[in-house]
């Protein structure tokens, strides 16, 4: 729950801050007022450069979509939804369900061509080249036309589907996409000046710049398979530890035999399950992916009295958590479980974190040597 809400927190703050700041944009000096129309274009250019650097093709398309209101202009219609707005919101929602395929390749080009096709269709309808007379008729004897109802329906579905997908997955891309859709609606259906429009649009590019920076952090510090912090994050954590702490090494027992029996894909599935069990105790000890089938848990001073009990709970939860894997010999899915061995070392005065980590690794070796599926505590150095 906390991870899901945190993914939406910063985008919401950016939106609220931009709405608040746009109400005071008229107080800017004349020089800044002259430069304000260029700000969205500059931020869009920076976002494209970062998207290229991090190979994020979806962000490239999103930047182009957000530029549509800038190129098309602020709508003067208060009661209806323009087709250009619907195309932008629909495509932003759609991007949340397509996988990342890189910055500029056949996948990105095909998606850009799809967006251009929708825009050309809107332009053709606007110019009268294509006409659907029945869409201009009143909807159920009201003052609203069928076309407005359909456009609003697509818009609301885009918001609802994106919000629901974010709630299920909690990823930052869909959270940012949801806020972008809401921001486009605000810009298109509230009475705002051209300066306020530029300020709000600039905030959207800031939002996606934030997303790219968070993605770069995730790529550097988060293990992509288990979603646990990786080795680099562990190294930085070890640097900032207090005087009293404990480090535990966790290793999956007989993992090589498991891979040989069921395959590496099923082995990855088991590692994900072990990581899921370790996450349950994140309030007491922070878990990291150390490498291969090894994990690390770091306990800070206030939780030292609970370390042995927590590690015992970790051992039991892993043993009791069954995973469904495909057995190539039986040609069917079976439920299996694995066990883990754990070694823990407590810090001593004058000892570096790397030395404590080595002692924990030595204790892990003793646990595996003693029969596996057990906990071994390192003795204090002499």
- CA distance linking residue 269 with residue 261, whole number of Å: 14
Q: Identify the band that residue 72 occupies on the pLDDT scale cut at 50, 70 and 90.
A: low
User: Which is nearest to 337 in space by CA: 281, 279, 262, 285?
Assistant: 262
What pLDDT, on the 0 to 100 scale, is given for residue 79? 40
Q: Under a CB-based contact definition with an 8 Å cutoff, are residues 51 and 60 in contact?
A: yes
- Mark whether 111 and 237 lie in a shared domain: no
CATH of the domain at 261: 3.30.70.270
Q: How many residues does the chain have?
A: 382
What pLDDT, on the 0 to 100 scale, is given for residue 68? 83
The answer to the question of residue 226 being in a domain is no
Final residue of a structural domain among 221, 255, 280: 221
The answer to the question of residue 179 being in a domain is yes
Q: Under a CB-based contact definition with an 8 Å cutoff, are residues 197 and 185 in contact?
A: no
- Mark whether 106 and 19 lie in a shared domain: yes
In terms of C-beta density within 10 A (0-12 exposed, 13-18 middle, 19 or more buried), how is residue 319 classed?
A: middle
- Mark whether 177 and 301 lie in a shared domain: no
DSSP state of 328: T
pLDDT of 77 over the 50 cut = no
Q: Under a CB-based contact definition with an 8 Å cutoff, are residues 67 and 44 in contact?
A: yes
Indicate the range of 88-92, 216-220, 236-240, 283-287 predicted with least confidence: 216-220
Block residue for tokens 């009201």: 142
What pLDDT, on the 0 to 100 scale, is given for residue 319? 93
User: Which helix H or strand E contains 3, and what residues bound it?
Assistant: helix 2-22
End-to-end CA distance of the chain: 45
Residue 126 tokens, joined: 């606007």
- CA distance linking residue 25 with residue 207, whole number of Å: 19
Angle (nearest 5°) at CA 53 between 50 and 58: 70
Final residue of a structural domain among 221, 246, 267: 221
Tens of pLDDT, residues 19-63: 888 888 888 888 888 888 899 999 999 999 999 998 899 999 999
- Mark whether 97 and 191 lie in a shared domain: yes
> Residue 334's beta-bridge partner residues?
325
Q: Give CA 47 to chain center in angstroms.
A: 17
Half-sphere exposure of 327 (CA within 13 A, CB side): 10
Q: Under a CB-based contact definition with an 8 Å cutoff, are residues 344 and 363 in contact?
A: yes
Tens of pLDDT, residues 250-295: 999 999 999 888 888 999 999 999 999 999 988 888 999 998 899 9
pLDDT of 85 over the 90 cut = no
For residue 325, the enclosing domain spans 231-377
What pLDDT, on the 0 to 100 scale, is given for residue 119? 82
The answer to the question of residue 322 being in a domain is yes
- CA distance linking residue 93 with residue 114, whole number of Å: 14
- Mark whether 181 and 87 lie in a shared domain: yes
The answer to the question of residue 154 being in a domain is yes
The answer to the question of residue 336 being in a domain is yes
- Mark whether 204 and 248 lie in a shared domain: no
User: Which is nearest to 22 in space by CA: 179, 171, 204?
Assistant: 204
pLDDT of 310 over the 50 cut = yes
- Mark whether 87 and 149 lie in a shared domain: yes
As a whole number of angstroms, the longest Cα–Cα distance in the chain is 90
The answer to the question of residue 339 being in a domain is yes
- Mark whether 214 and 282 lie in a shared domain: no
- CA distance linking residue 323 with residue 265, whole number of Å: 13
Final residue of a structural domain among 221, 242, 260: 221
Q: How many domains does the chain have?
A: 2
The answer to the question of residue 208 being in a domain is yes
Report the percent of the chain where pLDDT is more than 90: 41
- Mark whether 190 and 75 lie in a shared domain: yes
In terms of C-beta density within 10 A (0-12 exposed, 13-18 middle, 19 or more buried), how is residue 259 classed?
A: middle
- Mark whether 242 and 130 lie in a shared domain: no
What number is the average pLDDT over the span 207-230? Answer: 89
- Mark whether 76 and 158 lie in a shared domain: yes
- Mark whether 191 and 235 lie in a shared domain: no
The answer to the question of residue 330 being in a domain is yes
């Amino acid at each position: 729950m906390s991870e899901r809400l945190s993914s939406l927190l910063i985008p919401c703050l950016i939106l609220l801050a931009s709405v608040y700041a746009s109400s005071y944009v008229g107080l800017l000096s004349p020089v800044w007022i002259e430069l304000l129309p260029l700000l969205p274009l500059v931020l869009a250019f920076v976002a494209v450069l970062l998207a290229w650097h991090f190979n994020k093709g979806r962000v490239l398309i999103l930047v182009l979509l957000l530029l549509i209101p800038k190129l098309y202009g602020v709508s003067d219609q208060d009661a209806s939804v323009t087709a250009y707005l619907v195309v932008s919101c629909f495509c932003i929602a759609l991007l949340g369900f397509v996988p990342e395929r890189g910055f500029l390749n056949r996948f990105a080009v095909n998606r850009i061509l799809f967006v251009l096709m929708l825009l050309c269709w809107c332009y053709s309808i606007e110019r009268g080249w294509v006409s659907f007379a029945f869409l201009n008729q009143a909807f159920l004897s009201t003052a609203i036309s069928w076309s407005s109802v359909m456009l609003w329906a697509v818009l609301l579905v885009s918001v609802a589907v994106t919000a629901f997908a974010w709630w299920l997955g909690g990823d930052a891309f869909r959270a940012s996409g949801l806020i972008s859709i809401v921001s486009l609606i605000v810009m298109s259906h509230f009475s705002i000046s051209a300066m306020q429009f530029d300020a709000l649009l600039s905030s959207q590019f800031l939002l996606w710049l934030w997303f790219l920076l968070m993605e770069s952090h995730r790529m550097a510090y988060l293990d992509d398979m288990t979603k646990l912090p990786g080795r680099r994050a562990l190294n930085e954590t070890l640097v900032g530890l207090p005087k009293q702490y404990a480090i535990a090494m966790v290793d999956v027992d007989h993992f090589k035999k498991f891979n040989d029996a069921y395959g590496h894909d099923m082995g990855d599935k088991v590692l994900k399950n072990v990581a899921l069990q370790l996450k349950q105790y994140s309030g007491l000890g922070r878990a990291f992916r150390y490498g291969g089938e090894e994990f690390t848990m770091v306990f800070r001073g206030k939780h030292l009295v609970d370390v042995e009990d927590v590690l015992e709970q970790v051992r039991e939860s892993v043993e009791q958590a069954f995973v469904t894997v495909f057995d190539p010999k039986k040609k069917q899915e079976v439920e299996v479980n694995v066990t883990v061995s754990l070694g823990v070392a407590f810090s001593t005065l004058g000892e570096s974190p790397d030395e404590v980590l080595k002692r924990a690794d030595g204790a892990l070796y003793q646990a595996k040597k003693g029969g596996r599926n057990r906990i071994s505590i390192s003795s204090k150095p002499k």
